[in-house]
Structure 1
């Protein structure tokens, strides 16, 4: 009798182990999320980038309080996350608060490009400013401005140049593609993006640059799934497979040659959606959704993981300290579309 019970219990335990392993295997195909140490302050519409292994989260809007009401809660904060120690520190603030700016990391420096600031009673005053941050001195300096003032733009680095693409100039969407050379502190212009838009994501993979999603004239009721690819060698654009879920207010990171596009907002709410683009096959794949749906979030890649920080859990003015980490599936994993 005892032996019979033992084998029944052992069999049930074995089946549970098999089921758990199958669930883990299936989950690992679409990646996994973990929660890291929360950011020091609640913010939204932030930007983020990795410099020398540390993640800098910059600007945006702070949660409104009496002490920031005169600034319309526009943030100049710079908070620094160390993934190794899972800890935060505070660094030198921006010379002036910015929200919906672009950001890039290049040669150990951080670049904050464009964005919006306040002007009279509006918080949508587009600016062309470029600020460079040196982590070794913790100091900012202002560089040559963009030719076109705009915010809610996309920024990426390709072959030692910083590309500033799209956005909103204060009156209309911009299709501008302007290229900054940090060595000469100068700008040049390139072929305009076919579809002008703001709140898009921009990423460089291999020898191409991708402009993904976005919206028309700051209106999240008019989201887009448009994906356009730019070839810097031929100076030409072409259309690629649409983002499966039309979104704006998104963020993106590149890991192992794939672009992971996360979050966003619409009139119906915020997105936890995480979709990955394979540029080689021109295919999209649905990945594990974020634990916390958000828009206006910042992201940065460190040690093969995507850190997704802050952002609003509801459309419009909402704020969080959330720091969630996505680990993608192994590069050789077979996925369905």
Structure 2
């Protein structure tokens, strides 16, 4: 797999002094970022109400960076200078640094002078609700040997230790701007107070990792809100996994579950009405997992296995399995979990693989897109469980395969991504079951040829990861059905494809596993916080 391009870092710099820019006689301020492993990068800062500020982009990420700010008068004479040392830059992020400018020809130090701020470092200027920001203050006292005390404060969120020069702050659950304040006091009470604002907005947080590295696994939200992850391929050997794990959103932890004796390719799962989980894949076999008893039970076999199946639960509690038989013959079967029996039903109009299968509000089921004999399909058909028959419906505007389909709150169906062209990978369409017509909606901001999508509690749809050509994606977008538009969210920590994306009961989204940069299968998981 192609490696992702190098992610560069950005730096948000603010320079401050005790007097106003006019009184100081400063005409311009520059900032230079340097380190032993990178060439110096300089930029000009712009005046603000209380100093100067700006951003430096295109920086090599890493640690041990020195940020030096210099202020010049109208004659170009260097008048003031300040620096922050041991600054860490994270890939793809924005690090915030505040540098205090000191006069080069400083006046004599008087007894009991207040402490001086050298730099204020923050690992991020923006963070998701519940996310963490690492903080560090660099200060000194003009009076030799004078001890300093530190006190952090904020109207919301919490500090790991509010009395340390190095600490961390955890953002509150609510979004908005939060001012973090710091007071540094010497042994006789002289002090200074400073601070900066952190924006709390939607984004991604780390959570517990699975025990196994998994690609192509299944993820099913259980009736109690936990998430069952099963099957998939193990990294390195690319051998099938027979075990399962359950994620608990309340604790952010995983627990291993019983292993199955059956591990088909292209597994598809459906949550049954009684809380058990139905599994099937290539071949005639299927299994049912009971999360309460932590047991797997093999069902009766189908008379003939269905290739590349997709499954969904019908309103009567039966499972519809759709795919095809050998020689490109379309096929469908019904499984009754109470009687543990298989039954026939109507034959789909067309053989297809890589299609989407979406239950509609009226009990019917929509099948859209896919491939047949190497050709990408735009056709769609609807299954009526009352009659067991299939009927053609409106076609997509273009052929799509490995796309994502999500039923919206109003009953319409959103289809995104898929296809072999950039236009298909960015575009989205909405199906109206009442008219049987597809209509274009806003295109995604990025290209997602292999896409994962899920609907959040808000009714909006989250899309995360996938591929843009051969490049793995860490980007994520949210679709608003009311406006038909997309917006970018913060990027995931790891680019991935072949992962799972599951909506949690509390409105968050869980991303699990997949293939990462360099072809490694991932055991990591991340949480989207809206």
Distance 1:282 1:7 in 2: 52
Deviations 1:233-277 (A, max 9, x none): 222111111111111222112111110100011334210111110
Who is 2:489 aligned against? 287
Who is 2:34 aligned against? none
The alpha-carbon distance between structure 1 residues 138 and 228, as it changes in their structure 2 partners (threshold 3 A), is same
Higher RCO (CA < 8 A, seq sep 6+): 1
1:314 paired to 2:489? no
Who is 2:345 aligned against? none
Partner SS for 1:22: strand
Shift of 1:22: 3.4
Alignment coverage as a number of residue pairs: 300
Distance 2:426 2:215 in 1: 23
Unaligned runs of 5+ in 2: 1-109, 118-138, 140-148, 154-178, 183-193, 303-318, 323-330, 332-349
The alpha-carbon distance between structure 1 residues 35 and 194, as it changes in their structure 2 partners (threshold 3 A), is same
Distance 1:57 1:161 in 2: 28
Who is 1:257 aligned against? 459
Provide the TM-score with structure 2 as the length reference.
Answer: 0.49
Who is 2:250 aligned against? 84
Who is 1:277 aligned against? 479
Partner SS for 2:517: coil
Corresponding residue to 1:228 among 429, 439, 443? 429
Provide the TM-score with structure 1 as the length reference.
Answer: 0.73
Greater Cα shift, 270-279 or 102-111: 102-111
Corresponding residue to 2:206 among 28, 31, 35? 35
Shift of 1:178: 5.0
Partner SS for 2:431: strand
Distance 1:163 1:203 in 2: 11
The answer as to whether partners of 2:204 and 2:526 remain within 8 angstroms in 1 is yes
Corresponding residue to 1:188 among 390, 393, 418? 390
Shift of 1:298: 0.4
Deviations 1:72-117 (A, max 9, x none): x345554322222422232453844223x55554633545576xx5
Shift of 1:23: 2.3
Corresponding residue to 1:62 among 217, 234, 254? 234
The structure with more helix, counted as a fraction of residues: 1
Who is 1:22 aligned against? 197
1:215 paired to 2:422? no
Who is 1:327 aligned against? 529
The structure having more radius of gyration, on CA atoms, is 2
